[in-house]
Amino acid sequence: MNKTTMEQISDRELSITRTFNAPPRIVFDAWTRADLVKRWWAPKSLGVVMASCEADIRVGGAYRYVLRNNGEDIAFSGKYTEITPHSRLVYTHYFEPMFDAGAVIVTVTFIERDGKTVLTSRELYPSKEVLEGALASGMEAGMRDTFDQLDALVASLG
């Protein structure tokens, strides 16, 4: 199993990196295609399931993921601002219950190394307080679970 690293690089920014045992084409598709996202994005070990998953993968297109935990729905949504297939993706990311806090700007790169993909997700939060709130919410544990699930999925697609 590959290791996920998360580093706070400023008072508003996180960098998350992981190597996946699949080429960028497969990892990019798993990150963007709704039929694949719904198979890994909800942290199953925490009892969370994907209630709905929609994604219009084009610049200006929107996505919306709804997670269900103990009968309660929580949604995340945003718009794609830059798409370079299989190598780079930039999008806004809103936690809908705290929409007024502003968008996180997410930049994901997919770099091929020896047939594997080094994925780096840089997340720029609208304020130091929003980043601190996300970290305090336990997002790191959920993120590690979902990256493990993504690892298993891309290995099965290869």
Give residue 158's pLDDT: 73
Q: Give this prediction's pTM.
A: 0.95
Q: Residue 37, Cβ neighbours under 10 Å: how many? A: 22
pLDDT value of residue 14: 98
Sorted by where each starts, the structural domains of the chain and their CATH numbers stand as 5-157 (3.30.530.20)
Single out the residue of 10, 1, 13 nearest to residue 122, CA to CA.
13
pLDDT at 138: 86
In the predicted model, what is the mean pLDDT of residues 41-51? Answer: 94
CB within 8 Å of 136: residues ≥ 6 apart: none
Q: Nearest 5°: phi and psi at 57?
A: -80, 85
